[in-house]
Structure 1
């Protein structure tokens, strides 16, 4: 004859699946209330996932764009000029740097493997019936190597073009598209800049926008031609420039190059302490690091705000569960009367809170990934959804549900069965 089980054995043998099933059934019977309870968790988790993904995607996109232009380069700009009214015209507007300064740096700075000078202005460029405003960049023969950008069609101008200040031009890809159309080869055509005719030698490969400047929305002319025929603002000591780019052998040499350039230009310009420099140096690696720090801080700030949404969601779950305990007092009394233990009641209500939170967290993760994918598609940056953000989303939703369910579940478990049965 089989051994008789104690009266309480069945109540303690309720499986996890049965508890979750009962919790899901109870929640399904109150769909609207359950949905509204989940909303706070969905908003919080989706915010964490989407903002983290967008921040990482934007950061990666910017790093790729800067690296495409070279992480081993730095920019040296002329000082800022001011108008008669004291308005600052911005860095690079003063005639404090010359082409001769750039040549001296190329020859005397050991850390520099390439230097290219430039003079830049905004002009109208005309071809046939097309008239656009674009950036015209006068530069030298070393621009392609230092800036890591080369002609996709045709060629760059030659030393003979530079020496003779020839009216020749190389177009950025966006300018080509606007003036001629993407399918047209413009090599050999004549365009007009400042009512002067320029022959097209080639079209540069696309590079995209970096730091708010579209690298494809510009045209290139010999620096000598730009200085003599388009600008005409030479300094007394040589050809005035807005600045020059310097390439080092690798990014670890940039600090040494910056030190050498600073000292050399101070000597050439007779600048001694405590006089201020009449030039400014911008390091590409510093730009990447600064941007990464800003994006990181912004992401942390928004994730913190999303965390507040999660706290609000947890409070909502706790509130609804407390109301549920009051509404189901008689049901709890009946279950206790037929043998349900305090532990079974506690687990039942904890399971309901966790199910609400975890399901809401899953929906939030799906919504967050969808938002991130949509943003990446619209704004054209890489879609990056890290595993840690998904794992943290699930973990947070579970913890929120567990914490929010503790007090209501404890209250339900402590109900006196006699008093519960008498309630209405």
Structure 2
């Protein structure tokens, strides 16, 4: 498998974006030339965070000088840092990405550098020769990351949603969903392992679909080729990817229960994010890979008809919905990849807004505490000088509810 589909470029910002972009640049192919086929430009304010990114020969690191201490989750600082270095970054982008077929702008939403820079970076790509050749990879924060992070993500999503029709595809990575999935399988793992695993999974998924378009032998009339994958990436709106892998021996083409439910689960939940209204998709596609013997046994007219009906049910208004099948000796399991493009924002975005709302302290609660604190008078002890008498006293003075100086009068 040495033929590459699209030549990707990855422009990562902030710790989250540079980590994903670097993982993508680290993808290796088993060939003598073009062993590391993807190129990355890694941009950050924080020099300490940049030093955490492992060296990769096809990734170029760029520190936003003058802002080396980081943006401290301040999106205004992140935007200012980008604009300060804008002309130099344009030169770097043209130098590194001029031969790329498609550029992914990669940002972890919620922080300062990437969240602050993403809009201006998209404008740079759009205005400097990459119009129609770039899309976004955006990670969505977990609920526990705090109100500042959630609000930063919301602010940028509001702007991106308004400009969505003028952009290429947007791949959303839901860290909440991925963290919960990882926790179920690796409850004793740590955050570093989770992030490394997630970054590598994103990189491998984008690479796998790219390879499907150019490396395998079609066994049916349809082929999800390079041009169709590029068309998906150029489609405005959210792009959703599903993937499931089954043992060939477990799949019975005449028994839908052995494959259909698991495929539907991977589509409806997504592998990076879920909660989409799939009926809004402009395009969708399904690719099935198996061994030559497995392909001959499984990919019957009955099975293909079942899958075509399911795709029609999911996306009745899609302009295209091919079901492509492949058989190759390098494959020993059934791999099912699904792609839906042109979607609207998922339910997870609404959840982030609701989570942010819950973190707002009510004015009443804050004012009540402040009022109680300010009105409370600490006794100077002049009324009772005898400590023993105080401790032995059986008398209890009831508070006067009319006395406004008593902060506990309402109890």
TM over 0.5: no
Q: For the superposition of Structure 1 and Structure 2, which TM-score range results when normalised by the shorter chain?
A: under 0.3
Q: Looking at both structures, which has the greater relative contact order when contacts are Cα pairs under 8 Å and sequence separation is at least 6? A: 1
Structure number with larger C-alpha Rg: 1
Higher helix share: 1
TM-score (norm 2): 0.21
